[in-house]
Amino acid sequence: MRNKHKDKGYKGAAQNISGISMRYILELGKSSSILIGKFSSLVLFICLFLVACNEKGYVQRPLPSLEAVNDMANQSFQLDANKIRQHLYRLAKADRDSLVADARTRRYYRDGGNLLWVDRFGTDTRADSLLVYLDAVENMGFSKRVFGVKQIERDLQRLRTLDVDTGIRDINRVAARLEYNLTKAFLRYTAGQHFGFTNPTQIFNRLDIREQDSVRTTYRGLFDVPVKRPPKDFYPTALRKIYNDSVAIFLRESQPQNALYAQLVKHFKGKSLSEVDRVRLLCNIERSRWRQDDYPQNHRKYVLVNVPSFHLDAIEGDSVLTMRMACGTLDTKTPLLNSHIMRMDVNPQWIIPRSIIKKEVIAHAGNTDYFDRHRYFILNRSTGRRVDPCSVSAGMLLTPDYFVVQEGGEGNSLGRIVFRFNNNFSIFIHDTSSKWAFERGNRGVSHGCIRVQKPFELAVFLLKDKDKSLIDKINYSMQADLSKRKDGEEPKPRVDYRRLVNSVKVNPNVPLFITYYTLYPDMAGRIQTYADVYGYDQVLYRYLRNFAI
């Protein structure tokens, strides 16, 4: 049996009458009407009880007249469960809204589900608990209209004051409409707050076309952050929460776990925003709803790359090492992901991605001067041996049988050190030989990798134990001239191979977050604004604008 709420007092005569009528006239589930004689006797008894209560200090209420008592027994005030279900079925059939929560609401009432919000006691504080949250949706840039707040409030008042008659204000129609709209708003709100109102995996991984022909289209992967989506039992569980009087608890549990969500809502609460600022706020609050397995706030030490800021922050406790970074262009965007930095390789060789071979290298197939100038060599995959560039055609370069590799050391596109982390895109954080990129405002210049301004400082940050000997080796290795002497060149400084280091494990691994926020707090907690360099705000807004104020 469901727990029934005890009335904690009345706010006036109208609500008193409502409580009486709901409690004793309106027996849901019974198709037969209550006899007027029994009803009248019952109401007269309660009236005498109210007079006695008044003598004990309760708020004075007017005693209804006999005429009013008889009027209350009128058919206009009788709830009929069968009629309510008929109205609910019609509402479900007429509903054309397209959210998953809307489809779940329709299915529930089309299948004859139990009434959840309205019972023989009327409506209780569960509806009020939901309205408290719905009244605050404008603080996150949403319109109350999306959740039907005005209609819910209007019908709730009508039912509680028995402000009903016929037509659209027929009590059974009002009760059905209230029941349906409360369920729909509850599912919309809790699903959206719990998991986000959009699915970023679907949106961003079907945004940029990689290849397209008459048979199929493939897309670039741009989003690989593990975000949770509603499991199969989410909506049935939510419906049980209503029935079992756990609405307030479930609403609290549905609030986003990302600390940024509360910061953004608090910062902009009550402020008058321009259209541009409102869209920016709406999109960033939505990003903060996406429920992840991990957040920066869970760690004392981590690396954060916020693409729109063009900065990398290496954070440990209250200290932060910040540096400029360059990332992917608009055509070769840096993907968003969570990972852990596991290793750093000094003077790495660069295996050139096939996409770059197609765009840049293939046109120079067989050109030895081009390969020597860029310090490229060709490796036979099966034998592991180098191959003369003159013997490899353009067609051969496009097969998986050959690699094009750039020698490590000065001039390598990866710079003198690369920071490796597991990901599905073959991207890294690395040094660069193109230092000019850090002087630009828009530093979208790479094929997707992240180039950093202070690679040595980042290497030291990643070390758990700041071993001076190891730090010296990393520093020396990043500056030693490892290139071969060419004919006619001056002798090079002798390399101290004892001080060279090739690879250093990062133990423990350091969490890495590559994110995209156009609103984000600095270390002092001040919200900073960044340009929408990839146009992701506008992409999100196309999905969110129907929710907007």
For the residues of 201-212, what is the DSSP string, one character each? HHHHTTSSEEEE
Q: Alpha-carbon distance 390 to 286, whole Å?
A: 54
Distances (CA, A) of 233 to 229, 240, 414: 11, 11, 47
β-strand partners of 338: 513
SS3 of residue 317 by DSSP: coil
SS3 of residue 266 by DSSP: helix
Q: Pick the catalytic residue: 87, 374, 430, 447?
A: 430
Which tokens is 401 given?
A: 């049988």
**Ramachandran bin of 415, using left for φ above 0, alpha for ψ from -120 to 50, beta for the remaining angles:** left
Contact 199, 192 (CB under 8 A): no
Contact 404, 446 (CB under 8 A): no
Closest CA to 162 of 51, 62, 41, 16: 16
Distances (CA, A) of 393 to 352, 371, 389, 491, 547: 17, 13, 8, 36, 56
Q: Has 430 been annotated as catalytic?
A: yes
Q: Pick the catalytic residue: 194, 283, 327, 449?
A: 449
Q: Has 327 been annotated as catalytic?
A: no
Q: Alpha-carbon distance 465 to 159, whole Å?
A: 68
Q: Which residues of 445-458 are buried (b: 16+ CB within 10 A; e: fewer)?
A: bbbbbbbbbbbbeb
Count other Cβ atoms within 10 Å, centred on residue 33.
Answer: 13
Cβ within 8 Å of residue 280, ≥6 positions away: 518, 519, 529, 532, 537
Q: Alpha-carbon distance 321 to 385, whole Å?
A: 42
Which tokens is 291 given?
A: 């429920």
Count other Cβ atoms within 10 Å, centred on residue 143.
Answer: 13
Catalytic residues: 430, 449
